[in-house]
């Protein structure tokens, strides 16, 4: 292929992340870019432009003067807004780049208004509604999820979160006040354990697509789905830990200070700010705990799938799958 000197080579693999995903640092760099909250502010034109740049590049069309950095920036903008498996533009609040601002507001409010029952119920409900949108938007694979499944997952997670929050709230009456500040965290952790598997029950029932190293689809595995979902639950709870564990300790100390007593109005904004600070780091770092492209040994898969792989692709010893987020 004839190339003008100084043009971009066509062999940069932009299907894969820019940094080595075999290392934690590489994955963290990748997710700092994916979850960059500034991407929420990008206009439709910028998104469209990034999509064109990326899709053209895959077809071997490079616009003159495009640099490698610009190509990668376009790729990350594209990834932040379009679904990896279906290519459709994702709802704004469901995107990974909206995680920090949205979670910061919701978590800050959950931690601020934890004293009355209606407030607990309301904020846990808001949080689970947001989670439902995120889980739906970032579902793995091209498996459609029915409205009934969505509804059932949403109702069960919300109920689980509210019951945990209220149950723990009544238990903590007899404990020091700092303990009751951790109730929202326990409720969120419990809800994640219900919400994510429920949201993705179709994958648990029918399996998720597994591929060989080159990305050729070898079949669907429910064992892979279980591993993928367990990893997501762990990283979601991990994400909530710093944001819900550090601010309560700081706030407990701050609220005793005279200026906070004089301006109780500062309570929510300070709390939201602290949560935001934790989330900016916790979100990408916890997404990076496990590689996005997870893998497992063929020998750990279902016997019937092992047999099928043995037949189609006998030299394959590991399969790969997108764990979802």
**Is residue 289 situated within a structural domain?**
yes
- Determine the structural domain holding residue 159 and report its residue range: 96-322
**Is residue 17 situated within a structural domain?**
no
8 vs 65: CA distance, rounded Å: 8
**Is residue 11 situated within a structural domain?**
no
Of 50, 70, 89, the residue at which a domain comes to its end is 89
Of 43, 66, 89, the residue at which a domain comes to its end is 89
**Is residue 18 situated within a structural domain?**
no
Instruction: Judge if 101 and 170 occupy the same domain.
Output: yes
**Is residue 191 situated within a structural domain?**
yes
pLDDT (0 to 100) of residue 2: 42
Instruction: Judge if 260 and 112 occupy the same domain.
Output: yes
Instruction: Judge if 160 and 35 occupy the same domain.
Output: no
The sign of the torsion formed by the CA atoms of 101, 104, 107, 110 equals: negative
Instruction: Judge if 113 and 248 occupy the same domain.
Output: yes
Instruction: Judge if 136 and 171 occupy the same domain.
Output: yes
The pTM is what?
Answer: 0.71
Phi and psi torsions of 255, nearest 5° = -65, -15
* β-pairing verdict for 217-221 and 293-297: unpaired
291 vs 293: CA distance, rounded Å: 5
Instruction: Judge if 213 and 176 occupy the same domain.
Output: yes
**Is residue 118 situated within a structural domain?**
yes
Instruction: Judge if 83 and 215 occupy the same domain.
Output: no
Total tally of structural domains belonging to the chain:
2
Instruction: Judge if 204 and 236 occupy the same domain.
Output: yes
Instruction: Judge if 175 and 160 occupy the same domain.
Output: yes
DSSP 149-193: HHHHHHHHHHHHHHHHHHHHHHHGGGS-HHHHTTHHHHHHHHHHH
Instruction: Judge if 103 and 143 occupy the same domain.
Output: yes
**Is residue 131 situated within a structural domain?**
yes
Q: What are the pLDDT tens digits along the chain (325 aa)? A: 444 445 677 778 877 788 888 888 998 998 888 888 888 888 889 998 998 898 888 888 888 888 888 889 998 888 888 887 777 888 888 888 888 888 888 888 887 787 788 988 898 889 888 888 887 777 655 556 677 777 887 888 888 888 888 887 888 777 887 787 777 777 777 777 877 787 777 788 888 888 888 778 888 888 898 999 899 888 888 887 887 788 888 888 887 888 878 887 787 788 888 888 888 888 888 888 888 888 888 888 888 888 888 888 878 888 888 887 6
pLDDT (0 to 100) of residue 1: 41
224 vs 295: CA distance, rounded Å: 8
Of 69, 89, 109, the residue at which a domain comes to its end is 89
Other beta carbons less than 10 A from residue 13's beta carbon: 7
Instruction: Judge if 51 and 136 occupy the same domain.
Output: no
Instruction: Judge if 108 and 181 occupy the same domain.
Output: yes
**Is residue 6 situated within a structural domain?**
no
pLDDT (0 to 100) of residue 325: 66
Largest pairwise CA distance in the chain: 77
């Amino acid at each position: 292929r004839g190339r003008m000197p100084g043009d971009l080579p066509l062999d940069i693999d932009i299907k894969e992340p820019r940094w080595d995903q075999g290392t934690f640092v590489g994955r963290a760099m990748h997710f700092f870019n994916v979850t960059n909250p500034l991407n929420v502010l990008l206009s439709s034109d910028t998104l469209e432009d990034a999509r064109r740049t990326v899709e053209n590049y895959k077809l071997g069309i490079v616009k003159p003067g495009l640099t490698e950095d610009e190509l990668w920036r376009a790729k990350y903008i594209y990834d932040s807004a379009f679904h990896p498996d279906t290519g459709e533009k994702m709802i704004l609040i469901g995107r990974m780049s909206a995680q920090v601002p949205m979670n910061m507001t919701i978590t800050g409010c959950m931690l601020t208004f934890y004293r009355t029952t209606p407030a607990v119920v309301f904020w846990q409900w808001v949080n689970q509604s947001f989670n439902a949108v995120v889980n739906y938007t970032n579902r793995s694979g091209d498996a459609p999820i029915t409205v009934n499944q969505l509804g059932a997952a949403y109702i069960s997670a919300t109920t689980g979160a509210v019951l945990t929050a209220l149950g723990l709230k009544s238990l903590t009456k007899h404990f020091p006040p700092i303990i009751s500040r951790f109730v929202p965290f326990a409720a969120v952790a419990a809800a994640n354990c219900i919400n994510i598997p429920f949201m993705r029950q179709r994958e648990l029932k029918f399996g998720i697509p597994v591929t060989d190293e080159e990305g050729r689809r070898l079949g669907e595995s429910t064992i892979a789905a279980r591993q993928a979902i367990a990893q997501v639950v762990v990283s979601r709870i991990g994400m909530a830990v710093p944001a819900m564990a550090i601010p309560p300790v700081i706030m407990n100390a701050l609220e005793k200070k005279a200026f906070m007593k004089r301006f109780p109005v500062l309570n929510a904004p300070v709390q939201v700010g602290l949560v935001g600070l934790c989330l900016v780091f916790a979100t990408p770092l916890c997404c990076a705990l496990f590689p996005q492209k997870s893998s497992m040994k063929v020998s750990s898969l279902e016997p019937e799938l092992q047999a099928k792989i043995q037949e189609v692709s006998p030299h394959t010893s590991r399969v790969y799958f997108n764990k979802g987020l």
